[in-house]
Chains A and B, each alone.
Chain A
Amino acid sequence: MREMLKLFLTIVVFSAVAGGLLATVRSATRDRIEFQQLVFVKGPTIRQIMQGSSNDPVEASFKLLDGDVERTFFAGEFDGSLNTVALETYAGGYGGEIGVVAAINVETDRIVGVGVTTHSETPGLGSRAKTDPSFSRQFEDKPVAEPFKVKADGGAIDALSGATITSRGVCQAVSEIADIYIRLKDNIIAELKS
């Protein structure tokens, strides 16, 4: 019995110390990691899905409160007016959270483009959500009110073969972005005009 207790306590102490240490490192590096992600992943993805905008959407960002969550929007200028916003959310994938940005045209309420930012999906299968444009292009020009689902779930999106869970995650994230957009639309338009 004492032996068991000792084994148990050793592992508990090891895990607790490891957990504490990791939490410290995590909070010490969080800001820098977010900055690096913006520079190397989110920035290029946002610019790519808003290709052809006459401004730099990454520079033209603003924050809005959604309930008690603060969300960052990136505004793109097309045809001389700021009429497109991009937003990032996360959804569960196969290998962790998938970061997805979607850009929406506020005049037509349609999706302009969708891109995957940070992910840890299987290379060659789920990772194609980021690298294979024929997948993300399916979202283009769809109205935001439409539910985004893969065909297996009764939707209109062709899942990546061998990566249904990833595809579902992306759909879920895009749906969430659409919901947030619909919820905050008035505030977004006010912000774009100012």
Chain B
Amino acid sequence: MAKTTVQEFTKGLWAEIPPFRLVLGLCPILAVTKTVENGVGMGIATTFVLVCSNVLISLLRSVIPKRVRIACFIVVIATFVTIVELVMQAFAYPLFLKLGIFIPLIVVNCIVLGRAEAFAAKHSPIPSLADGLGIGIGFTLSLTALAAVREIFGSGTFTVPVSGVALPVFGPEFQPFSFMIEAPGAFVCLGLMLCIMNMVGKK
């Protein structure tokens, strides 16, 4: 049964929300979600790459020979990632400094290549656009949610994206639970969120 364009979009928001349902793209999830601002920035960068590469690969799907498709996908994805990197350096340098090495690493993000291979190479541009946008927004939401939990408990603040202002959530006598912003805290937090998602999603 063919899904409608709207369904292709909305599946990324819950049914196939990337880190929680597909459990893909964990490297950036664990590495950059120390503050909400980083999470949102990473999510938007990935969404841009995902949408552009999905549409382009879908348009070129009849031109790309099967045997070299992965190489072609990587060239397309790497090009968009480098564009994001340059544009981010030009217009959002402080964010680039924080995300640093994780921006070029979007090239090897399983979500982007996974959508290209599993979806865009088999569907026409409009559904591919919807798919990329849905998965991208789902990824951004997950990063934001995880980052919010980690930042609120780990540093006791909530960094508003764009303005970069860190709002204190608890009073001044709050003792930060700094385990949450360390790498193991990311695993524990992700695990607990997966657990909650599965409990809620269980019929």
Residues on the A chain within 8 Å of B89, using CB = 29, 33, 36-37
B199 at the interface (CB under 8 A from A): no
- The answer, among B65, B87, B90, for a CB contact under 8 Å with A10, is B65
Query: Which stretch in A15-23, A48-56, A82-90, A153-161 binds the other chain?
Result: A15-23
Does A15 lie within 8 Å of B75, measured CB to CB? yes
- The answer, among B63, B68, B75, B101, for a CB contact under 8 Å with A18, is B75
**B67: shortest Cβ distance to chain A, in Å?**
6
Q: Which partner residue on chain B sits nearest A29 by CB separation? A: B90
Bitwise interface map of B from 89 to 112 toward A, beta carbon under 8 Å scored 1, else 0: 111011001001100000000000
Known: A18-B76, A21-B79, A40-B94. A11 touches B71 (CB 8 A): yes
Residues on the A chain within 8 Å of B76, using CB = 14, 18
Interface SS majority for chain A? helix
Q: Roughly how many angstroms separate A21 CA and B82 CA in the complex, as a whole number?
A: 10
Residues on the B chain within 8 Å of A41, using CB = 93, 97
Does A40 lie within 8 Å of B86, measured CB to CB? no
Does A25 lie within 8 Å of B87, measured CB to CB? yes
Does A33 lie within 8 Å of B79, measured CB to CB? no
Q: Which of A15, A29, A95 has the most CB of B within 10 A?
A: A29
B165 at the interface (CB under 8 A from A): no
B45 at the interface (CB under 8 A from A): no
Q: Which partner residue on chain B sits nearest A6 by CB separation? A: B65
Residues on the A chain within 8 Å of B82, using CB = 22, 25
A123 at the interface (CB under 8 A from B): yes
B64 at the interface (CB under 8 A from A): yes
B83 at the interface (CB under 8 A from A): yes
Q: Roughly how many angstroms separate A50 CA and B132 CA in the complex, as a whole number?
A: 48
A81 at the interface (CB under 8 A from B): no
Does B83 lie within 8 Å of A25, measured CB to CB? yes
Does A26 lie within 8 Å of B86, measured CB to CB? yes
Q: Roughly how many angstroms separate A13 CA and B72 CA in the complex, as a whole number?
A: 10
**B147: shortest Cβ distance to chain A, in Å?**
18
Between A and B, 25 residue pairs with Cβ closer than 8 Å are A3-B65, A7-B67, A10-B63, A10-B65, A11-B71, A11-B72, A15-B75, A18-B75, A18-B76, A18-B79, A22-B79, A22-B82, A22-B83, A22-B86, A25-B82, A25-B87, A29-B90, A33-B89, A37-B89, A40-B94, A40-B97, A41-B97, A95-B101, A120-B101, A122-B101
B residues neighboring A (CB under 8 Å): 63-65, 67-68, 71-72, 75-76, 78-79, 82-83, 86-87, 89-91, 93-94, 97, 100-101
A residues neighboring B (CB under 8 Å): 3, 6-7, 10-11, 14-15, 18, 21-22, 25-26, 29, 32-33, 36-37, 39-41, 95, 120, 122-123
Sample of 13 further A-B pairs with CB below 8 A, known A14-B72, A18-B78: A6-B65, A10-B63, A10-B68, A11-B68, A11-B71, A22-B83, A25-B82, A25-B86, A26-B86, A29-B87, A32-B90, A39-B93, A40-B94
